[in-house]
Structure formats: structure tokens, C-alpha cells
Structure 1
Amino acid sequence: MHALDRIRQSIDVIFLYGLTAGLMMAIAAIIMAKLPE
């Protein structure tokens, strides 16, 4: 049970980092698209 909690916690952290990275990339893409060439 203890190991399962640890695995679940690490999955949550990985998911959070992935979500944050995806959000940053999306914002960067929007900024790049709005900037004049």
C-alpha cells in the first residue's frame, strides 16, 4: 500500500510537469504567432 502511494505521487508530479511544459509551449507558440515577422 505504501509503495502504491509513492508511485501515485510520482505519477501526479510527472503529470503536473507535463501539463506545465505543454502550457508553456502553447503560450510561446501563441506569442510567436502574434509577433510580426
Structure 2
Amino acid sequence: MSATPRIGILGAGGRMGRILIQAVNEAGYQLAAAVE
């Protein structure tokens, strides 16, 4: 049940959660591009 807290936080965040995920993904892509 270690994954439930994360889902709960994302569910409570709603749009904020999605925006955070998108921001993290974009940062990851930029990091990968910079490394390459």
C-alpha cells in the first residue's frame, strides 16, 4: 500500500497534480536533451 498515498495526493491535488506531473516530465525531457 505504498502507492496509495501518492494516488491520494494526486487525487486531492486534481489539476495541481497534473500540472506538477507535466512540469516534472518537461524538466526530465529537457535534462535528457541537455545530457545528449
For normalisation by structure 1, the TM-score amounts to: 0.63
Paired residues, what number? 25
5+ residue gaps, structure 1, are 1-7
Runs of 4+ in 1 over 4 A off after TM superposition: none
Tell me: higher relative CO, structure 1 or 2? Use CA pairs within 8 A at least 6 residues apart.
Answer: 2
Aligned-residue sequence identity (percent) comes to 4
RMSD: 0.9
For normalisation by structure 2, the TM-score amounts to: 0.65
Q: Distance in 2 between matches of 1:23 and 1:31?
A: 12
